[in-house]
Amino acid sequence: MKSCLKYFSASLLALLTQAAFAQSAPTLGAASDFAALAGGPAAGAVTCTTSTVTGDVGVVAPGTFVNTGCTIDGMVDQNAVAAYADFLSAYAEFPSIPCDATLTGTLAGVTLAPGVYCFDAAATLTGMLTLDGPADGLWIFKIGTGGTGALTGTSFSVVMAGGAEGAQCPNVYWPVAQAATMTTSNFLGTILAGADITVTGGTFIGDALAGGAGTTSTPTGAVTLTDTTINACAPAGGTVVHINKLKCNQGVGNGPEGCDPGNSNHKLESNDELGGMPGFPGRKGGNN
């Protein structure tokens, strides 16, 4: 078997998928709405430079939020004690979740079914990782299960396939023993880091939660965002960010709906395709 588990037998895929459905990820509680959440105590616990943030930003006093040319679509909580406490509770639960398989390597070109995957120490990732499974599949990547280990992604992309391709906010979690750094990457999933999180360039769909090794009385960890776009991916009750464009409905009088009417003949097809005519779109096989 390849060290990166690049190839799976059908039986192993089935076992991992069953294991993923047998459990759920720890709830993030109040932390789920935060695109960036950090402890402190250093000034500038969250530092954002020329980036776009969709979701809340939170720090724990005396940590502060430093905004240099960033657009924030959400609230800024200067003392997010409740959210940080919920993050710490979730972070503390991940070590007890058993691993389905241990990974090594960069994960470039690897396709993984739902499951719990572990790196004993650090994970240095590049290339494209494909997560293939149902819309409600669960992927957990535990970094540093031996006690230490950072997550580093450089030109690293995470893409969804199968039923999860059109899912709103897929269930992907990256609990990390130490720091996490993403550079020019198109990342997907919620990072729960023991220390700092640094995101430079690229995109990030999920939550960047830093300082899991701290406590409510001694928070630690910073989030640094530079030239990036980060969208919080909250569950029901929070602000949900759609990671895929949805069905178009281009009938007379309909306004823009965030979809691509020029390229909608796919599994999220619109109702003006497959034989419709301008002014009379019809429903000839579309909108299934």
Residue 123 lies in a domain: yes
Quick check: is 237 in a domain?
no
Give the per-residue pLDDT at 222: 94
- Token couple for 78: 């200067």
The residue-averaged pLDDT of 166-182 equals 90
Q: Does residue 57 form part of some domain? A: yes
10 in any annotated domain: no
**DSSP track, 60-117:** -TT--EEEES-EEES-EETT-HHHHHHHHHHHHHGGGSPPSEE--S--TTEEE-SEEE
**Sign of the dihedral through C-alpha 263, 267, 272, 276:** positive
As a three-state string, the secondary structure of 201-239 is CCEEECCEEECCCCCCCCCCCCEEEECCEEECCCCCCCC
User: What are the pLDDT digits (tens) for 182-206?
Assistant: 999 999 999 999 999 999 999 999 9
Check: CB of residue 184 under 8 Å from CB of residue 201.
Answer: yes
The reply to whether 54 and 141 lie within a common domain is yes
**pLDDT bracket for residue 61 (50, 70, 90):** confident
**pLDDT, tens digit (0-9, with 9 covering 90-100), for 101-124:** 999 999 999 999 999 999 999 999
Residue 174 shares a structural domain with residue 42: yes
Shared-domain flag, residues 85 and 171:
yes
Alpha-carbon gap, residue 112 to 122, rounded angstroms: 19
Does 126 reside within a domain?
yes
Residue 136 is assigned to a structural domain of this protein: yes
Residue 185, in any domain of the structure = yes
Mean pLDDT value across residues 243-270:
36
Q: Are residues 117 and 71 in the same domain?
A: yes
- Comparing C-alpha atoms, which of 189, 71, 214 is closest to residue 131? 189
Closest CA relative to residue 79, chosen from 210, 234, 219, 237: 219
Pair (261, 208) in one structural domain: no
Task: Indicate the pLDDT class of residue 44, thresholds 50, 70 and 90.
Answer: low
113 CB neighbour count, 10 Å cutoff = 23
pLDDT beyond 90 at 43: no
Asked whether the predicted pLDDT for residue 235 surpasses 50, the reply is no
Give the pairing type, strands 71-73 and 101-102.
unpaired
242 DSSP assignment: P
Which residues, 6+ apart, have CB-to-CB distance to 185 below 8 Å? 153, 154, 155, 156, 157, 201, 202, 203, 204
Q: Looking at residue 145, what is its pLDDT?
A: 96
Q: Which two tokens stand for residue 32?
A: 């789920």
The answer to whether residues 70 and 191 belong to one domain is yes
Indicate if 263 and 193 belong to the same structural domain: no
259-286 confidence digits (pLDDT tens):
333 333 333 333 333 444 444 444 434 4
Cβ atoms of residues 76 and 66 within 8 Å: no
Mean pLDDT of the chain: 79
Where in the sequence is the domain holding 44, given as residue range(s)?
25-231
Please report, rounded to a whole number, the percentage of residues in the chain having pLDDT higher than 90: 62
pLDDT reading at 22 higher than 50: no
pLDDT-derived band at 233 (thresholds 50, 70, 90) equals: confident
According to the model, what pLDDT value does residue 168 have?
67
What pLDDT was estimated at residue 260? 34
pLDDT in tens, 205-218: 999 999 998 887 78
Domain count within the chain: 2
49 plus 173 within the same structural domain: yes
Domain assignment of residue 281, yes or no: yes
Question: 245 pLDDT exceeds 90?
Answer: no
Residues 120, 252 within the same domain: no
Same domain, 137 and 252: no
pLDDT at 220: 85
Tokens in use for 113? 């079914």
CB 63 within 8 A of CB 52: no
Higher pLDDT, 33 or 10: 33
Which pLDDT belongs to residue 242?
35
Are residue 58 and residue 183 in the same domain, yes or no? yes
The CA-based dihedral angle spanning residues 71, 69, 67, 180, taken in that order and rounded to the nearest 10 degrees: 80
Beta-carbon contacts of residue 265 (< 8 Å; ≥ 6 apart): 273, 274, 286
- Whether 1 has a pLDDT exceeding 80, the answer reads no
Is residue 132 within a helix (H) or strand (E), and if so which, with residue range? strand 123-132
